[in-house]
């Protein structure tokens, strides 16, 4: 998965007021971030499993699986990627997310600064 945006790979201290500003409620912001991070994590997991399944064979032994260098490189690539929660926060801060409240037809866009 190629990340086109500049997302920090380490945890960054953030001001809660800035996270709450787009929604007016920190709890709403956290729920939006949680749901988006979960979407990203599931997509990455699906992509990783698809790539790793290519290495799976009917007669592979455990030793062969652990020695496969290409498989190890793919796993390392995904380990170096920014964590899903950091990607979600970056999207949120840049205004790339929108959400709908349950029971309404109103879509709310979170605009970047």
Secondary structure (H, E, C), 66-108: HHCHHHHHHHHHHHHCCCHHHHHHHHHHHCCCEEECCCCCCEE
Q: Which domain holds residue 84?
A: 19-109
Is the pTM higher than 0.85?
no
Indicate whether 99 belongs to any domain. yes
pLDDT in tens, 97-109: 877 777 766 666 6
Whole-number mean pLDDT of the chain? Answer: 79
Whether residue 30 is contained in a domain is answered as yes
Q: Does 89 reside within a domain?
A: yes
Q: Is residue 56 part of a domain?
A: yes
Instruction: Determine, yes or no, domain membership for 4.
Output: no
Compute CA distances 99 → 5, 28, 89, 105, whole Å: 21, 10, 14, 10
Within a domain: residue 44?
yes
Q: How many domains does the chain have?
A: 1
What the block records as the tokens of 77 is: 């690539």
Distance CA 70, CA 102 (A): 44
Q: Residue 18: helix, strand or coil by DSSP?
A: helix
Answer whether residue 28 is part of any domain.
yes
Domain contains 7: no
Whole-Å CA distances, 104 to 92, 100, 101, 108, 110:
21, 7, 6, 11, 17
Task: Return the SS3 of 11.
Answer: coil
pLDDT in tens, 10-49: 777 888 998 888 888 899 999 999 999 999 999 999 998 8
């Amino acid at each position: 998965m190629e990340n086109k945006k500049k997302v920090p790979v380490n945890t960054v201290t953030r001001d809660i007021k800035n996270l709450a500003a787009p929604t007016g409620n920190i709890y709403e912001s956290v729920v939006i971030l949680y749901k988006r991070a979960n979407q990203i994590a599931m997509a990455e997991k699906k992509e990783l499993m698809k790539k790793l399944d290519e290495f799976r064979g009917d007669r592979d032994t455990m030793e062969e699986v652990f020695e496969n260098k290409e498989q190890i490189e793919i796993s390392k690539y995904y380990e170096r990627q920014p964590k899903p929660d950091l990607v979600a926060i970056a999207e949120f801060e840049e205004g790339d997310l929108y959400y709908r409240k349950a029971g309404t037809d109103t879509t709310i866009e979170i605009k970047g600064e």
